[in-house]
Amino acid sequence: MRKAVCPGSFDPVTLGHLDIFERASLMFDEVIISVFVNPTKDKAMFTMKERVNMIKKATAHIPNVKVTSFSGLLNDFCKQQGANFIIRGLRAFSDFEYEFQRALLIKKINKDLETVFIMTNAQYSYLSSSSVRELAYFDGQIAGLVPACIEEDIKNILAKIKAKKITKEKG
């Protein structure tokens, strides 16, 4: 059984990510999407649970996908899951250097673990979670950037975050 892990922050999941999940699901028997939480650098806007739930909703139509989360090293997670492949999406040149270094490091730790790159769909090449976060926070239009079924979730979560911030500033 060919299992692949799709790791990422997915803060939040976008249509660019979803396109990669759908294409990976055609190449592997099982695709394990995992929200990675890195306490040494994590400054996520959405909680791990929120991110997992949004991905679950957005991928409900893909039968061979499993969604989970992990805090730790990617190599350890792949071993735990019995997966020999890591899927990463590639956008512009800017992604390449980081991904190249990361893939080589992973290979050095475990030579049986293969990183597979899927080129972005041209339609989403400009799309990033950080731009979605910024747009959504300032009430910009996120339709067409994130899966339609999670648009409201994003708006509701951000409304709560903003309300909390205002209360904190007042108090």
Contacts with ligand ADP, residue ranges (CB under 6 A)? 8-10, 14, 16-17, 20, 88-89, 91, 95, 120, 124, 127-129
Continuous H helices in the chain: 15-27, 48-58, 74-81, 93-109, 129-137, 151-170
Closest approach of ligand ADP to the CB of residue 162, in Å: 23
Active site residues: 17, 41, 91, 129
Whole-angstrom distance, CA of residue 145 vs CA of residue 124:
8
| Pick 148 or 163: Cβ nearer ligand ADP | 148
Nearest to 102 by CA among 125, 73, 81, 129: 73
| Pick 85 or 124: Cβ nearer ligand ADP | 124
| Pick 122 or 166: Cβ nearer ligand ADP | 122
| Pick 10 or 169: Cβ nearer ligand ADP | 10
Closest approach of ligand ADP to the CB of residue 79, in Å: 19
Decide if 3 contacts 79 (C-beta within 8 A): no
Closest approach of ligand ADP to the CB of residue 13, in Å: 8
Whole-angstrom distance, CA of residue 139 vs CA of residue 155:
8
Decide if 33 contacts 21 (C-beta within 8 A): yes
Closest approach of ligand ADP to the CB of residue 62, in Å: 16
